[in-house]
Amino acid sequence: MQNRFKRIRASALDCMPDHRTQASEYLNFLAAWVKKPRQTASVVPSSRYLARLMVRDIAADGGRVMELGGGTGVFTREILSTGLPADMLEVVEINPAFARGLRRHFPGVSILEVPAQSVSSSAAGKPGDYQIVVSGLPLLAMDKAMHIAILSEAFAMLKPGGSFVQFTYSLRPPISRDTMALLGLEVERVGQTVRNFPPATVFRFTRPV
């Protein structure tokens, strides 16, 4: 088992594009993956290149932003770099260790330790206040019912024309066409980066107004 983790670590560090990722973040992420691999989905945090794709449509004055699955804060950091005020961002993270780290590194951001499918009960904003939901959730590890619950909650929070942005390690959207049709959603490919471990594709889901 120990040798297996050494091989994973060596492979990840060789392929990981963001060489400035702090060792503490990597070790915390690896520990979470060892404990709950389906929940964490990867052995390393997302790269800054992926994060920039995820947040590129955020407008600093466009309204509130919700992040699902904050992890070690890679996306959170890039969201704030857009100029969005910290008090306009809420990050959902159910892993207690990650949540503590997020509160320590981003004191002005609201960190919610609640399930993504019921976040509206704890959110500071009202339905229709949010310009975008940035999701780092491992949707490929979830079933159709969970997809419906999470997306329904997200689009209840989004303003008309708002978007749900999701990355995946597949070249195809992580949401089935049946589910998108049921929820009245459309999808477009934002971009792909090989400067991530594993390489990732970003998709934007919207509901026509």
User: What pLDDT shows up at residue 114?
Assistant: 97
Q: How far is CA 64 from CA 29, 80, 129, in A?
A: 27, 12, 6
Find the helix or strand (DSSP H, E) in which 201 lies. Answer: strand 200-206
Report the amino acid identity of residue 105.
H
Q: What is the reported pLDDT for 209?
A: 84
Are 78 and 51 in contact by the 8 Å Cβ rule? The answer is: yes
Q: What is the pLDDT of residue 1?
A: 54
SS3 191: strand
Return the structure tokens found at 100.
């503590």
- Could you tell me the residue range of the domain that residue 172 belongs to? 48-206
Q: Which residues of the chain have pLDDT under 70?
A: 1-44
The verdict on residue 84 lying in a domain is yes
The answer to whether the beta carbons of residues 71 and 29 sit under 8 Å apart is yes
Q: Is residue 102 part of a domain?
A: yes
| Number of folded domains that form the chain | 1
pLDDT at 13: 44
Specify the CATH number for the domain of residue 72.
3.40.50.150
Residue at 144 is within a domain: yes
- Write down how long the chain is: 209
Q: Is residue 114 part of a domain?
A: yes
**Cβ 190 vs Cβ 204: under 8 Å:** yes
Structural domain includes residue 11: no
Q: Would residue 200 count as lying in a domain?
A: yes
Tens of pLDDT, residues 69-79? 999 999 999 99
Q: Contact at 8 Å (CB) between 166 and 202?
A: yes
**Of 179, 190, 191, 187, whose CA–CA distance to 207 is shortest?**
187
In a domain, 23, yes or no: no
pLDDT of residue 139: 94
Q: What is the pLDDT of residue 131?
A: 98
Structure tokens at 121: 């009960």
What proportions of the chain, in percent to the nearest 5, are helix, strand and coil?
45, 20, 35
Q: Is residue 42 part of a domain?
A: no
